[in-house]
């Protein structure tokens, strides 16, 4: 039984590729952008889709693979059937199982027409010779046949079904979010085996050690999202009254900005329907996000006064000159921190990474910029700043194990 679960046959290599019309290639290009393929498979812009990006997981380091049509190191000898099997089943052409860092558990619900268009796009890219890098997995997770048992638990290859109660645009967004853009891969928590916790869809997860906030009634956003704000954010990475995209979300925004904007609008409609379930933060009273201004000095009777004073000094000297000024269209100033969602997250990792790494637009692209302070601040200073901002910026209870989170986020 175990052999039947684990074994997959090879598919013979092909030497004759079908011809592709330009309309299919163009549709495939749009799907590749919506599917964030370059985020993992293009760590070097000079070698698009040649792979090699290391992805840290709880089970070891996985490197993305070459998906250019190179005959020796890429997918140049893959037939349409081999490509479709990889997308739907997570099985390479030679029969070995792919690690689920490749989100085939989402791609499996793509339509066959979309998979064919994606195949047309990749098979017409420049072929680049780029051998696969060696993965470093913790025993026994390096044994690929064991992935078959993960698939038994988490691979649902049933076809995606539209919701007849919703509009055509919403259903398009739902399809893209689930089957193509795989939003839940980051925004849904995972089990100890690395699979999605299907009992908590969109309850918040993680991506590259950043906290990915919930996209449902558990959203930590201090101010509600409008559909127009979501559309603007997904296209540009910044929207009125909301923080700029940081960390892995910057890649998402860059690729969505190049996608068909009707599809981005559909994604916005889908996301807004979920975020609209979040209860109003105000609940009849004023909140810090509704009355932004300079953050106050710690109260004299604060039980953690020394740490809060240290955090306030860092804020006043390093943050206030931009964040207290408020953000306007075309201004070089920043969002009032009372509105920054990272202060309201149940997990401090995103705030820690923002302080350490800052925000920078892609090379050669315009965009918001924030300096990083990793080489300037000690662990203790970073923890003090985060603790102060959480309490006096967001008015939220202290994060548990904040100091430990700072050490882990800064570990080499």
Nearest to 311 by CA among 401, 391, 407: 391
Is the separation of the CB atoms in 230 and 239 below 8 Å?
A: yes
Domain 290-410 of CATH type 1.10.3760.10? no
pLDDT of residue 397: 96
292-317, pLDDT tens digit by residue? 778 999 999 999 999 999 999 999 99
pLDDT surpasses 90 at 268: yes
The CA-based angle 369-344-55, given to 5 degrees, is 60
314-350, pLDDT tens digit by residue? 999 999 999 987 776 556 678 999 999 999 999 999 9
Question: Where do the domains of the chain lie?
Answer: 8-154, 168-275, 290-410
pLDDT surpasses 90 at 381: yes
pLDDT of residue 278: 84
pLDDT surpasses 60 at 87: yes
pLDDT surpasses 90 at 207: yes
pLDDT surpasses 70 at 41: yes
Q: Is the dihedral of CA 259, 265, 268, 270 positive or negative?
A: negative
Confidence label for 280 from pLDDT (cuts 50, 70 and 90): low
Domains 8-154 and 290-410 alike in fold = yes
Q: Which residues is 210 bridged to in the sheet? A: 207
| DSSP states of 232-275 | HHHHHS-BTTBPPP-TTHHHHHHHHHTS-HHHHHHHHHHHHHHH
- Which strands sit side by side in the sheet containing 54-57, from one edge to the other? 54-57, 60-63, 136-137
Q: For 8-154, CATH number?
A: 1.10.760
Is the separation of the CB atoms in 304 and 310 below 8 Å?
A: no
pLDDT surpasses 90 at 73: yes
- Strand pairing of 210-212 and 205-207? antiparallel
Which tokens go with 188?
């849904």
Mean pLDDT in residue range 45-60: 94
Dmax (CA) for the chain in angstroms is 77
Q: Give CA–CA dist 260/254, Å, rounded.
A: 13
Quick one: what percent of the chain has pLDDT higher than 90? Answer: 82
Cα end-to-end distance, the chain, whole Å: 42
Residue 411 per-residue DSSP state:
-
What global pTM score does this model have?
A: 0.92
């Amino acid at each position: 039984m175990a052999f039947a679960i684990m074994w997959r046959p090879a598919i013979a290599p092909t030497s004759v590729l079908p011809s592709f019309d330009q309309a299919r290639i163009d549709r495939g290009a749009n799907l590749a952008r919506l599917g964030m393929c370059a985020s993992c498979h293009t760590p070097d812009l000079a070698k698009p889709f040649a792979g090699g990006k290391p992805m840290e997981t709880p089970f070891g380091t996985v490197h993305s693979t070459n998906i250019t049509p190179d005959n020796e190191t890429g997918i140049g000898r893959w037939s349409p059937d081999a490509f479709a099997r990889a997308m739907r089943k997570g099985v390479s052409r030679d029969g070995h199982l792919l690690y689920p860092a490749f989100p085939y558990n989402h791609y499996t619900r793509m339509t066959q027409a979309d998979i064919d268009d994606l195949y047309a796009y990749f098979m017409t890219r420049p072929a680049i010779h780029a051998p696969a890098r060696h993965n470093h997995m913790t025993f026994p997770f390096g044994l690929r046949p064991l992935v078959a048992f993960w698939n038994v638990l988490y691979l649902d290859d049933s076809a995606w079904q539209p919701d007849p109660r919703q509009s055509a645009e919403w259903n398009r967004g739902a399809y893209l979010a689930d089957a193509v853009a795989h939003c839940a891969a980051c925004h849904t928590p995972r089990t100890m085996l690395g699979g999605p916790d299907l009992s908590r869809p969109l309850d918040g997860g993680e991506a590259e050690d950043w906290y990915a906030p919930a996209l449902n009634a558990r959203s930590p956003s201090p101010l509600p999202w409008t559909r127009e704000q979501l559309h603007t954010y997904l296209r540009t990475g910044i929207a009125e009254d909301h923080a700029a995209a940081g960390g892995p979300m910057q890649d998402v925004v860059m690729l969505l900005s190049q996608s068909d904007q009707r599809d981005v609008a559909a994604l916005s409609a889908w996301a807004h329907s979920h975020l609209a379930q979040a209860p109003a933060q105000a609940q009849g009273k004023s909140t810090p996000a509704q009355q932004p201004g300079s953050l106050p000095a710690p109260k004299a009777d604060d039980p953690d006064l020394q740490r809060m004073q240290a955090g306030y000094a860092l804020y006043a000297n390093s943050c206030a000159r931009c964040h207290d000024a408020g953000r306007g269209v075309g201004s070089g100033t920043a969002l009032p921190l009372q509105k920054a969602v990272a202060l309201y997250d149940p997990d401090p990792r995103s705030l820690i990474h923002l302080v350490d790494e800052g925000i920078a637009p892609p090379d050669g692209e315009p965009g918001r910029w924030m300096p990083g302070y990793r080489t300037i601040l000690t662990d203790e200073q970073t923890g003090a700043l985060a603790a102060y901002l959480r309490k006096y910026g967001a008015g939220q209870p202290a994060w548990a194990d904040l100091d430990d989170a700072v050490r882990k986020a800064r570990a080499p």
